[in-house]
Amino acid sequence: MKISTLMIPDPPISDSEEMILTSLRKVRDRGIGRVIVADKVVKGIVSTRDLISFFVSNCAGGCREREVSSMASIRISQVMSRDPITVSLDDDLMDALSIMVARNFGSLPVADRERRPRGLITERELLLAYRDVPEVLHVSNFMSKKVSTVEEQEPLIDAAARMVRRGFRRLPVVREGQVVGMLTAADVLKKITEALLNGNPGTLLSAKVADTMNHRVIAVEPDATLQEVATTLVQKKIGSLLVMERGNLVGIITERDLLLALHYLLYLKATRGKMGV
């Protein structure tokens, strides 16, 4: 399967002189957590994690409203990951998948031979490949069993700092030990964007997790199949499902977990083909 069949053909693109606020608006409006930075050719890529990390790192010792507002005028080139690995339209799905798994990337720009941007491939698009994988594997084999949570009354900026520090993109929200919602990196970035666009950065500094989290809790049983989970994530446009057993939280299954499983399955399929199995 070629990358061109799964990629996003018209991803958000910014030039390197663009201000962060403009790029934030593009992420919000498109609902895609990445922006390709290109001055005719691909120069960089900015992820939701990059943007949150930038704001958190500048507020490590505490922020005033004026300082938060000034961050919006920083050029996107100061935040982007430079000279990203790209894939081409005719590359095989397995090539992109292998790079993303090996390098822990959540996306890859798609470019032509002159490195002009042509599209974007993310974890979510790759999940569509589960339609062509016959093997049945269960959530319990690939879920993350150690789940970090956050209290709903914790300051949002503290929860965001924990995400950056520990490399998380989502945290289940608990109240008195019970899961009541989910906080994602996309939720945090949306709050940052709203605060800056509305000219009221104080709402970001005073916000609690409860003000921003998604109250919808979607869960699966440990014996659900990976195909079922992949379908749910794509259809509902979410990045993870909680794994519950008899009402207890026992794990979380994410797009990243499914990507690792998919790489395993496709590698196994390719190996079998070479061996004539």
How would DSSP label each residue in the chain?
Answer: -BGGGTSBSS--EE-TT-BHHHHHHHHHHHT-SEEEEEESEEEEEEEHHHHHHHHHHHTTT---HHHHHHHTTSBGGGTSEES---B-TTSBHHHHHHHHHHHT-SEEEEE-TT--EEEEEEHHHHGGGGGG-----BGGGTSB-----EETTSBHHHHHHHHHHHT-SEEEEEETTEEEEEEEHHHHHHHHHHHHHTT-THHHHH-BHHHHSB----EE-TTSBHHHHHHHHHHHT-SEEEEEETTEEEEEEEHHHHHHHHHHHHHHHHHHHHHT-
**134 is a domain residue:** no
**241 is a domain residue:** yes
| Contact call for residues 187 and 212 (beta carbons, < 8 A) | yes
Residue 209 Rama label (left phi>0; alpha psi -120 to 50; beta): alpha
Distance CA 187, CA 193 (A): 10
pLDDT at 277 over 80: no
pLDDT digits (tens, 9 = 90+) for 154-170: 999 999 999 999 989 99
Show which of 122, 150, 170 is a domain's final residue.
122
Give 275's pLDDT tier (boundaries 50, 70, 90). very low
Same domain as 253, residue 152: yes
Same domain as 171, residue 114: no
Same domain as 114, residue 153: no
Show which of 89, 122, 155 is a domain's final residue.
122
pLDDT at 22 over 80: yes
**201 is a domain residue:** yes
**270 is a domain residue:** no
Same domain as 93, residue 19: yes
The residue among 89, 106, 87 whose CA lies nearest residue 2 is 89
Same domain as 205, residue 103: no
Same domain as 212, residue 180: yes
Q: How far is CA 253 from CA 20, 59, 135, 193, 271, in A?
A: 31, 31, 18, 28, 26
Same domain as 66, residue 170: no
Same domain as 150, residue 109: no
**268 is a domain residue:** no
Same domain as 246, residue 204: yes
Q: For the residues 44-72, what does the mean pLDDT come to?
A: 85
pLDDT at 144 over 70: yes
Q: For the residues 191-211, what does the mean pLDDT come to?
A: 90
Distance CA 80, CA 51 (A): 8
pLDDT at 41 over 50: yes
- What's the order of all strands across the beta sheet hosting 219-220? 219-220, 240-245, 248-254
Provide the CATH number for the domain around residue 41: 3.10.580.10
**214 is a domain residue:** yes
Locate 276 and state its tokens: 């004539």
In percent, how much of the chain has pLDDT > 90?
67
**99 is a domain residue:** yes
- Strand 150-151 and strand 117-122: the pairing is unpaired
Same domain as 193, residue 117: no
**Amino acid found at 203:** T
Same domain as 110, residue 15: yes
Show which of 95, 122, 149 is a domain's final residue.
122
Same domain as 100, residue 146: no
Q: How many domains does the structure of the chain reveal?
A: 2
Q: Tell me which residue range forms the domain holding 14.
A: 3-122
**155 is a domain residue:** yes
| Other CB atoms within 10 Å distance of the CB of residue 192 | 29
Give 71's pLDDT tier (boundaries 50, 70, 90). confident
Q: How many CA atoms lie within 13 A of 134 on its CB side?
A: 2
pLDDT for 1 equals 79
| Contact call for residues 239 and 169 (beta carbons, < 8 A) | yes
Q: How far is CA 187 from CA 33, 184, 259, in A?
A: 11, 5, 22
